[in-house]
Chain A
């Protein structure tokens, strides 16, 4: 039992529902009590979805507790089958069904005999995996189900496409800027003259899954979801995959080179010609993406050595850290992720790019770390944005979990060459806002706000007299908190209870010597 106010990743069933509702004509039925269908609200609100979310609940109530779900789950599956004719129905367990330990697999078996739809039981355990892991597993489960069946029926067409082609795996609903990223990837692949065989799960059809192996290789833009599927396809069908995230100019180039390698390897055995993408990379990096030029411009010079903190999912936190350090010359004091299950990969990726690594899913720990580091800017999730607000530190949102403002209508990819421009804007705006703030302070500004202590730490027992308060307010805002804290630290060390103007300056002197 632990005290919790906030979590970075949701419960397992959310992951399954996200995969299910991303596919076309797939319906999820949750085995859950009243009120657990909150996913529908999120999808309808955050994604501003125009269609009814294809997820319903088979309600668990008192009667179910007393007598078991009995016919209810089967009835609900068959009813959905009749009403909506989905290709696939996924029975989704929740924390409640984990405890009830009913044989839901048995219900699925019974229902699948009668129903026209395919029916599967999502193999996720609420107490073992979180939202992200569950999404990864469910996607793999669905792909495996259709490929296995196809295999058994020997309706097998294993020939690769003539021209080079790829599958993009892991674009899905409620993903951070996924729709825009997807559009950007399409554009890139068209530039490279590579066909897209399938994009799953978003907008994909389960009936087409049997054709997945026709692609030459797989692209996994975000390692959180899709990697399991890629590994399965690699093991069973020998499909290579690229799990580098094409985020930032350097990784973009790396990603394209990996594509080249894969294309050329397979081109040997087919009639296709070998490709060379170097001129493309060069042109894009120098002229289409503004990020490389931006790094050399005067603007970016001012960012040299500024300290930042990065926190988010593994893909975004690692990529943004690398962009800040090697593409903009900004110092990253600490990088962290809440994806504890993938910590090893993460540590390896950012080794040498930051001073400290933080692996935690406790937002208070992240808050304390930020308060302690006092960076000039934060790049994190919505939670870090709020921590930043309290500490008066600007924050750019780079990763889920997010609010509705992170589902912009305008085109805002994080991936690809356009993505590098978006990220550069995001980074620059976060710092520039902070800088303007400081200039206002230095030149007297229009800051009439009273000082409120926004410190996350406690400062018990110290009294600032009115003169010292006034003096503190004259100090530019960006330095004020630091001065306040240092003074208090000094006072505490010296056993001073009332802070006067003298104490402030004594503290300053003590610090300088």
Chain B
């Protein structure tokens, strides 16, 4: 089969009338990641209602976040913002004693121009707890971009490195998974320090650390770390690399403010992505990769049962969490046909390597490059879904049940944000999510009609 593919990636832009989570939702995973933090969302009942419903049962577990609910007096500036926030922060210090308080600015604080950035340093000095400000509001950002604003704010608080180049060589023993008996002496290469950015569950960070360790590359730290007090050193000569596609502000901050060097790489989602990610990092430090091809091959091998299920099936991304390009690239490599990649925001520079891997993957798999739609329009998209009748629509909860009732299989996109999808070991989890609606459909095959709406 030879399909001549000779196209470049184009990004269309629609109206931006689409459904996504408010970016303040990032606190739900960040408060769990950063164990000694407290998130204070300065906003209205609307924000609070979203949080309490979106985060469901977490609310009842005494979470380390709260709303500073603005009342009419705050809006009309009859009350003093500074005194109000001070009172709340003192109470938080007393009840929870966090190492850092992170103020999440919302639409309302933007609209009334509350000077959070101005008040924070003053209050920080007064109460003795670091206060960060992140403007994770729905006027500017979508869903996962909330994390981006928090990490960008946090980057400023990272300490300066003591040495720009790491200390003398260390020799470390590690056990390889596939050759448990054979002890191998692995030597870290003598390379400048590497900091990875993006919030991932701690077992996923150790998996990725280990993956790089096999290539004798040492990860000096993560932004964010498990504790605020363990933030990594950043500065001139430090190399940084992102693990998630929605961290463009953080990347910019690291380059411009912290003078770090960014390694542009595809994101370690799927075995192909993980391999490409490592292959971009290694040469920067003059390291030749070892055994990667075989490793990737073995992972694909282990996915065979799921690959048989997805091969030839079509998928439509409505777009709401910015993981779409990486996921689409992986699914195309799995043999799926992607109709459309909806995405809230496309940073072509930060995602450059990912986009070019997408292009390569399409050429390799002999499929045309799918259309990428930035700021999509949900009602147009639903019309397209009706025409295309994809085997799977990856979409938000607002559309999932109505589409299912019309016989379209859906997968709730938010699950990709909360599931572990990074690295070689978690590729199976991605496919577990993608195939679940397909497997369910198979189980219910003989149940009768799939469309259950009144006309």
Contacts and interface: CB of A to CB of B under 8 A. Distances in A.
A386 interface: yes
Contacts of A268: none
Nearest to A387: B60
Contacts of A35: 20-24, 50, 138, 142-143
A243 B102 CA distance: 48
Contacts of A62: 139-140
A23 to B, nearest CB: 16
B53 A42 contact: yes
Which has the most chain A C-beta neighbours within 10 Å: B19, B21, B453?
Answer: B19
Contacts of B399: 44, 52
A441 interface: no
B46 A52 contact: no
Contacts of A185: none
A61 B16 contact: yes
A65 B111 contact: yes
A99 interface: yes
Interface string A20-59: 0000000000001111111011101100111111001111
A40 B70 contact: no
Contacts of B397: 41, 44-45
Contacts of A14: 49
A368 to B, nearest CB: 15
A326 to B, nearest CB: 33
User: Dominant SS at the A interface?
Assistant: mixed
Contacts of B69: 1-4
Given A1-B69, A36-B46, A38-B50, A386 B75 contact: no
A105 B116 CA distance: 32
Interface string B385-410: 00000000000111111100100000
A50 B379 contact: no
Nearest to B403: A52
A446 B88 CA distance: 45
Which has the most chain A C-beta neighbours within 10 Å: B45, B54, B67, B142?
Answer: B45
Contact of B68 (A1, A33, A36, A383): A1
A48 B143 CA distance: 23
B88 A3 contact: yes
Given A1-B79, A49-B401, A59-B17, A36 B138 contact: yes
Contacts, number: 162
B112 A99 contact: yes
Contacts of A49: 401-402
A484 to B, nearest CB: 20
A143 to B, nearest CB: 26
A487 interface: no
Interface in B39-88: 44-46, 48-50, 52-54, 56, 59-60, 63, 66-72, 74-75, 79, 81, 84-85, 87-88
B287 interface: no
B71 A10 contact: no
B110 interface: yes
Contact of A100 (B17, B44, B111): B111
A83 B402 CA distance: 18
B320 to A, nearest CB: 10
Contacts of B84: 1
Contact of A99 (B75, B140, B382): B75
B447 interface: no
Given A33-B107, A99-B75, A126 B139 contact: no
A421 B49 CA distance: 33
A10 B111 contact: no
A44 B67 contact: no
A96 B107 contact: yes
A411 interface: no
Given A38-B22, A127-B75, A5 B398 contact: no
Contacts of B21: 35, 38
A10 B63 CA distance: 20
Contact of B48 (A4, A42, A45, A60): A4
B108 interface: yes
B398 A37 contact: yes
Contacts of A98: 75
A127 B73 CA distance: 10
Contact of B401 (A2, A45, A56, A127): A45
A76 B16 CA distance: 12
A314 interface: no
Contacts of B70: 1
A237 interface: no
Contact of A126 (B22, B44, B140, B398): B44
A7 interface: yes
B49 A11 contact: yes
28 contacts: A1-B79, A1-B81, A3-B66, A3-B92, A5-B66, A7-B49, A11-B46, A13-B46, A35-B23, A35-B138, A35-B143, A36-B22, A36-B138, A37-B19, A37-B398, A41-B53, A49-B402, A51-B453, A52-B382, A61-B139, A62-B140, A76-B17, A94-B46, A95-B45, A96-B108, A128-B72, A383-B60, A386-B60
Interface of B: 16-24, 44-46, 48-50, 52-54, 56, 59-60, 63, 66-72, 74-75, 79, 81, 84-85, 87-88, 91-92, 107-108, 110-112, 137-143, 378-379, 382, 396-402, 405, 452-453
CB-CB nearest 7 A-B residue pairs: A35-B22, A33-B138, A1-B84, A40-B398, A50-B405, A11-B45, A386-B60
Given A56-B379, A60-B139, 18 more contacts: A1-B70, A1-B79, A1-B88, A2-B68, A3-B88, A3-B91, A4-B66, A13-B46, A35-B23, A36-B50, A37-B398, A44-B400, A50-B453, A57-B17, A62-B140, A99-B111, A127-B71, A130-B45
